A and B are shown apart, each in its own frame.
Chain A
Amino acid sequence: MNKKSAHLHVNNLTCKRGAQILFSDLSFELKDSEMLLIEGANGSGKSSLLRLLTGLASACAGVIKWQGREIQMIRDEYTSALHYLGHTNGMRSGLTIEENLQLSSHLSLSASIVINDTLKSLQLDQHKNTYIKHLSAGQKRRAALAKIFLLPKKIWILDEPLTALDASAQTFFLAALEQHLQNGGMAIISSHHPLTFQHAAIKHLRLASC
């Protein structure tokens, strides 16, 4: 992971869906070891905001800066520093968990990864060679999280990561998230669950429902 201090700056962001304004003039900053928790009712624009922050979608107005430069200008550098997990898990249903994880590591041009320990701690080691389409919703979510744990990156942008996870997987995820923050990582997470950490600060952002 990059040891240099990192900085994400969002200024006057506005997002529309159709003619409706989801949010406007949104500004915040995020530094090392900080986490932003995005809260809000259904349809208040949480997922849209996360997609804007990944650079997959472009905003109506406003700028997002990474290390002082606009993310659209430094797309490769920015995407190499971030993990994005949307509502869909981004795993290919026709491949096994192991094949999916190998594919992800090749897509991020990482060195070969050792997946067994992480799968064991997510209770997926039995299913290493199971096709994603044969897994339950919670298992799919865990497999997607395994990818995030295996490939270290600076920013985690996760859309409702706790959905479909059971209690033990939630605890494991939160511990991993806290560890990530303590190691100087950043996280931007939307969640309906209240999160508290002992050793890491959480910033809150509440989107008004419209």
Chain B
Amino acid sequence: MLNAAKFIFQTEIVLLWRRSQEWLYPLAFFCIIICLFPLAFTPDPAFLQKYMPGCIWIAALLASLLAIENIFFTEWEEGYLEQLLLSQIPLSLLMFIKLSAQWIVTQLPLIMLTPLLGFLFHLPLSATLALCASLLLGTPILTLTGSLCAALTLGLRQQGVLLGLLVFPLITPVLIFGVSIVQQSQAGLSIGGPLAFLSGLMILAMMLLPWTIAAMLRAAIDE
């Protein structure tokens, strides 16, 4: 089972890497959205220091939605999803593997790019680190919640719009605590509280959502 899980994980990574649009588009989208904020408001460093972390969070949110939109669609069309349902490995484990690969390929590059963005927008080092930590804990929740909603809306037309309407209300706590980690760090306060809360949310999501997603997919296929 472990051997099979390892092979499936590698396959997922290889596939995502080959379909470069899967990770390149969200990454480019993330950068462009962030560059628009100083243009729309003001390039004043004091303003940027204060508001850029929130803008980066919003951009990460939008980019994660872009990355998650078609997560099950190709496999559903190819009939591979049915083969997954009939496989000898629990579907929830398969989903956990798939979503881990998805997170590594689509979200991790955003987080690695964040220090550069922090430097560009005059964020102090401590705030940049806090921002990276908040994204590191928050983005897995975005991937998990996004794919839950993608499983719910599988096969519907205009899926993207509906996905946004479903996902954004659900992940408001992540946004609130993610941004407050950076704000508290900038105000010189301890970031332990929101950091612990966000970690708790992430662990909860990792424990529960793979099962929920598996159940949703079974229901989506059974129609």
Does B associate with A? yes
Residue positions of A touching B, CB distance < 8 A: 54, 56-58, 76, 79-80, 82, 84, 86-95, 99, 102-104, 106-109
Q: With A56-B222, A92-B75 given, name 9 new contacts (CB 8 A).
A: A56-B86, A90-B80, A90-B83, A92-B78, A93-B74, A95-B11, A99-B14, A106-B3, A107-B4
Q: Classify the secondary structure of B's interface with A.
A: helix
Measured CB to CB, the closest approach of chain A to B109, in angstroms, equals 19
In the bound complex, do residue B87 and residue A57 qualify as a contact, i.e. CB atoms below 8 Å apart? no
Number of interface residues of B (CB under 8 A): 27
B161 within 8 A of A: no
Q: A57-B223, A58-B222, A95-B15 are in contact. Are A107 and B88 (CB under 8 A)?
A: yes
Q: A76-B88, A87-B79, A88-B77 are in contact. Are A109 and B222 (CB under 8 A)?
A: no
In the bound complex, do residue A94 and residue B82 qualify as a contact, i.e. CB atoms below 8 Å apart? no
Kindly report which residue of chain A lies nearest to residue B17, judged by CB atoms.
A94
Question: Which listed residue, B3, B89, B221, touches A107 by the CB 8 Å rule?
Answer: B89
Contacts of A95 in B (CB 8 A): 11, 14-15
Contacts of A103 in B (CB 8 A): 7-8, 11
Max chain B Cβ within 10 angstroms of own Cβ: one of A54, A86, A94? A94
Measured CB to CB, the closest approach of chain B to A164, in angstroms, equals 15
Report 27 cross-chain contacts, Cβ distance below 8 Å, ordered by A residue: A54-B82, A56-B221, A56-B222, A57-B221, A79-B87, A82-B86, A84-B82, A86-B79, A87-B79, A88-B77, A90-B78, A90-B80, A90-B82, A91-B78, A92-B75, A95-B14, A95-B15, A99-B14, A102-B7, A103-B8, A104-B83, A106-B8, A107-B84, A107-B88, A109-B4, A109-B88, A109-B89
